[in-house]
Amino acid sequence: MDVNRPAGVNRAGQMIRTDTSSLSGSKGVGMSGFRPHPPQSGRDWEVADPKVLAPMLLAGKHAVVTGAGSGIGQGICVRLVELGATVTGIGRTDSALQKTAELAAHAQGKFRWFTADVRDCARVRSVIAESSAELGMDLLVNNAGGQFYAAAEEISDNGFRSVVDLNLNAVFTVISEAKQFLAQRGGSIVNISLSGIERGSVGLAHSLAARAGVLAMTKTLALEWAHLGIRANCVAPGVVISDSLPEAVAASLRDRVVPESVPAGRATPVADVAELVAFIATPAGRMITGQLLQIDGAAHLGRGLHMIDEWPPREGRE
pLDDT tens for each residue of 222-239: 999 999 999 999 999 988
Q: List the Cα angle 233/137/292 in 5-degree steps.
A: 5
Residue 9 confidence (pLDDT): 38
Residue 307 confidence (pLDDT): 67
**Can you list the residues of the chain whose pLDDT is less than 70?**
1-34, 307, 315-318
Sign of CA dihedral 305, 75, 58, 49: negative
Q: CA-CA distance, 273 to 62, in Å (whole number)?
A: 19
Residue 316 confidence (pLDDT): 64
- Beta-sheet pairing, 110-115 with 86-91: parallel
Q: What backbone torsions phi and psi does residue 17 show, to the nearest 5 degrees?
A: -100, 155
Crossing angle between the packed helical segments 205-224 and 157-164, to the nearest 10 degrees: 30
Helix (H, G, I), strand (E, B) or coil at 220: helix
Residue 187 confidence (pLDDT): 97
Q: CA-CA distance, 229 to 315, in Å (whole number)?
A: 54
Q: What backbone torsions phi and psi does residue 187 show, to the nearest 5 degrees?
A: -155, 180
Q: CA-CA distance, 241 to 72, in Å (whole number)?
A: 9
> The pTM is what?
0.86
